Amino acid sequence: MSFDVLQEKILEKHNPTVAGLDPKPEQIPAHILEAAYRDYGTGLAGAAEAVWQFNRGLIDALCDVVPAVKPQAAYYERLGWRGMEVMERTIDYAHEKGLFVIADIKRGDIGSTAQAYADGWLAGTKVGEETYKVFDADCVTLNGYMGSDTLKPFLDACKANDKSMFVLVKTSNPGSGELQNVTAGESMIYQRMGDMVETLGQGLEGKYGYSPVGAVTGATWPQELKDLRARMPHTFFLVPGYGAQGGTAEDVQYAFDKKGCGAIVNASRSIMCAWQKTGGDGHDFQDAARAAAETMRDAIGAYVKMG
């Protein structure tokens, strides 16, 4: 789905945030783990089942508060094919609950390989005369530092299937400046990447003024966020780094346009693991996640006025 659809879901829920689904077994409440291990064994099958039950519970608890979820592929890949099956089920279940799904895959490769990734995550895979949906994400994250040609197959898949993509521009991690803030010619590398992303989406702007080519810009770098918002007026932002990485509501306000649109802020651990801070045994994980998501929504709402 395009960013028009995402923006509409954000406006409906009055909440520009996305809940990350990055589960590790040690972050899952004991009662869920014990049941999964009892039924599927203590190996990868049991771990994958626990992740599925946890995700389903989180989606049930959050689906009327947040407009979107962002499963990060690494947490599913680490469990092998069983984990990837849970990723697929999680995407489909989130859709059933009306959520926009951002698959955080951060792929990037030469064009022919990028095409294969785009088939798997956005367009579907052609076998004989039929095209089969694989991971039916609405949107993916991409690493475009190999160059714009590596993004083109994804852009074509987005255009043909009304989907969207976020390209890494200024990442939230502490070392992101080592390369991204190096000056190259008249601008810094992250600014050059920002210009490339903005240019790639030119002419494809939707109802809210945003193209299907979005940018990842970390909450931990508010100065760069401000700079990029001004530099990239038609680019929707995915802003990770809120909460566990130290980004605040005050920091992320700069990602939004004057109408309070054009950005979505991610939190994974601070929502998913909120139960670990309630002093309970994890039976309250849904209430805790919901309360954390509402607190985040309200904190950002104090800075960002929508509509």
User: Is 269 a binder of ligand LLZGTKA7 (CB under 6 A)?
Assistant: yes
Q: Residue count at the site for ligand LLZGTKA7 (CB under 6 A)? A: 18
CB of 243 to ligand LLZGTKA7, least distance (A): 5
Residue 103 pairs in a beta bridge with 140
CB of 20 to ligand LLZGTKA7, least distance (A): 5
9 is catalytic: no
158 vs 282: CA distance, rounded Å:
39
Give the sign of the dihedral formed by CA 272, CA 274, CA 276, CA 280.
negative
User: Is 55 a binder of ligand LLZGTKA7 (CB under 6 A)?
Assistant: no
Write the burial class of residue 47 (CB in 10 Å: 0-12 exposed, 13-18 middle, 19+ buried): buried
User: Is 244 a binder of ligand LLZGTKA7 (CB under 6 A)?
Assistant: yes
93 vs 72: CA distance, rounded Å:
16
Q: Which is nearer to ligand LLZGTKA7, 7 or 72 (CB)?
A: 72
Instruction: Select the residue interacting with ligand LLZGTKA7 from 15, 17, 53, 72 (CB under 6 A).
Output: 72
33 vs 134: CA distance, rounded Å:
28
CB of 264 to ligand LLZGTKA7, least distance (A): 12
Q: Strands 17-21 and 263-267: what pairing? A: parallel
Q: Which residue out of 13, 24, 106, 133 is catalytically annotated? A: 106
User: Is 181 a binder of ligand LLZGTKA7 (CB under 6 A)?
Assistant: no
193 vs 268: CA distance, rounded Å:
25
On whether the CB atoms of residues 122 and 156 are closer than 8 A, the answer is no
Q: Which is nearer to ligand LLZGTKA7, 17 or 46 (CB)?
A: 17
Q: Which is nearer to ligand LLZGTKA7, 90 or 171 (CB)?
A: 171
User: Is 240 a binder of ligand LLZGTKA7 (CB under 6 A)?
Assistant: yes
On whether the CB atoms of residues 141 and 177 are closer than 8 A, the answer is no
| Secondary structure (DSSP) of 152-220 | HHHHHHHHHHT-EEEEEEE-SSGGGHHHHTSEETTEEHHHHHHHHHHHHTTT---TTS--SEEEEE-TT
On whether the CB atoms of residues 141 and 216 are closer than 8 A, the answer is yes
Q: Strands 164-170 and 139-142: what pairing? A: parallel
**The token pair that represents 225 in the structure block:** 């966020």
Instruction: Select the residue interacting with ligand LLZGTKA7 from 27, 53, 164, 171 (CB under 6 A).
Output: 171
Q: Which is nearer to ligand LLZGTKA7, 63 or 103 (CB)?
A: 103
User: Is 104 a binder of ligand LLZGTKA7 (CB under 6 A)?
Assistant: yes
User: Is 268 a binder of ligand LLZGTKA7 (CB under 6 A)?
Assistant: yes
User: Is 300 a binder of ligand LLZGTKA7 (CB under 6 A)?
Assistant: no
Q: Which is nearer to ligand LLZGTKA7, 78 or 126 (CB)?
A: 78
Site for ligand LLZGTKA7 in 9-38 (CB under 6 A): 20, 22
**The token pair that represents 101 in the structure block:** 């799904």
Residues identified as active-site? 106
Where do contacts with ligand LLZGTKA7 occur on this chain (CB under 6 A)? 20, 22, 72, 104, 171-172, 216, 218, 240-241, 243-245, 266-270
